Amino acid sequence: LRLETPVNIESDGAGVACVPKNADATPAEDAVCFSVGWGEKSR
């Protein structure tokens, strides 16, 4: 992912996501998973 401007990941509106190196990786049955999307956030 390349952005036109740097993102401050210390802010409330941005963060990092860890993704598995193996595209076929499956979470454990008791894993807690979250899904988020891209978009705009207004305050």
Q: Report domain extents, the chain.
A: 1-37
Q: What per-residue confidence (pLDDT) applies to 34?
A: 77
Q: How far is CA 43 from CA 9, 18, 27, 29, in A?
A: 17, 26, 34, 36
Is 20 buried (19+), middle (13-18) or exposed (0-12) by CB count in 10 A?
A: exposed
Note the pLDDT tens digit of each residue in 12-37.
Answer: 777 777 777 877 778 889 988 877 76
pTM of the model: 0.30
In this predicted structure, the answer to whether residue 9 has a pLDDT above a threshold of 90 is: no
In this predicted structure, the answer to whether residue 1 has a pLDDT above a threshold of 70 is: no
CA-derived radius of gyration, the chain: 14
Closest of 41, 34, 30, 4 to residue 19, by C-alpha: 34
Instruction: Give the chain's mean pLDDT.
Output: 77
